Structures are given as structure tokens and as C-alpha cells.
């Protein structure tokens, strides 16, 4: 990991829904929100178990929440934001 330029973390919050129809229950999982952080390899190594400090040390971060019934494209949206905004940054 030391040879990496950065570490990209994506945190996905799921919402589980259960619907019962007669004796049959159907469970579905939907994406509720997505957050992404870009941190240096050193920050990742130092704060791997401390999400608050990882957020504080982030070189770039963003989040998206479910606004409509269809939220499955949130991870793709986050990656597109990263490529448009953070990836072109020069060190």
C-alpha cells in the first residue's frame, strides 16, 4: 500500500425491507446512502479503525443520499464525481 498515491474508501449504508405476503416473506436490500473518502496511504494505515479521523484527514470526500426510490446508481455517481473533481488534482 505504501506505493499507492491514495486510498479510495466507499462506505455504503443499506436499508433492509421485509414484506410479507401470506406465509411468504420477501426481504430486499436498498442502498440508502454512499460516502467516499480519499486519504493518503499513511493516514489510512494510521487511522484504519477510526472513521472520524479518516474523514478529518481526507484529501477529498463526498456523499450522496437516496432521494428517489431508485438509488442503485449512487456508487457510480460517486465514482464519476471522483473522476471529475479529484482525479485530475496534481500533487
* Tens digits of residue pLDDT in 40-86: 999 999 999 999 999 999 999 998 887 655 556 778 888 888 888 87
Query: Residue 71: its pLDDT value, please?
Result: 58
User: Averaged over 27-34, what is the pLDDT?
Assistant: 80
State CA 35 to chain mean position distance. 3
At 57, which helix (H) or strand (E)?
A: none
Query: Residue 41: its pLDDT value, please?
Result: 94
State CA 81 to chain mean position distance. 12
Query: Residue 67: its pLDDT value, please?
Result: 66
77 CB-near residues (< 8 Å, 6+ apart): 34, 64
End-to-end Cα distance, the chain? 18
Above 70 in pLDDT, residue 2? Answer: no
pLDDT band at 32 (very low <50, low <70, confident <90, very high): confident
Amino acid at each position: 500500500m505504501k506505493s499507492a498515491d491514495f486510498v479510495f474508501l466507499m462506505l455504503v449504508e443499506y436499508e433492509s425491507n421485509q414484506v410479507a405476503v401470506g406465509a411468504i416473506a420477501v426481504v430486499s436490500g436498498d442502498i440508502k446512502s454512499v460516502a467516499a473518502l480519499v486519504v493518503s496511504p499513511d493516514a489510512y494505515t494510521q487511522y484504519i479503525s477510526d472513521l472520524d479521523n479518516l474523514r478529518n484527514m481526507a484529501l477529498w470526500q463526498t456523499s450522496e443520499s437516496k432521494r428517489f426510490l431508485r438509488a442503485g446508481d449512487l456508487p457510480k455517481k460517486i465514482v464519476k464525481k471522483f473522476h471529475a473533481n479529484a482525479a485530475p488534482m496534481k500533487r
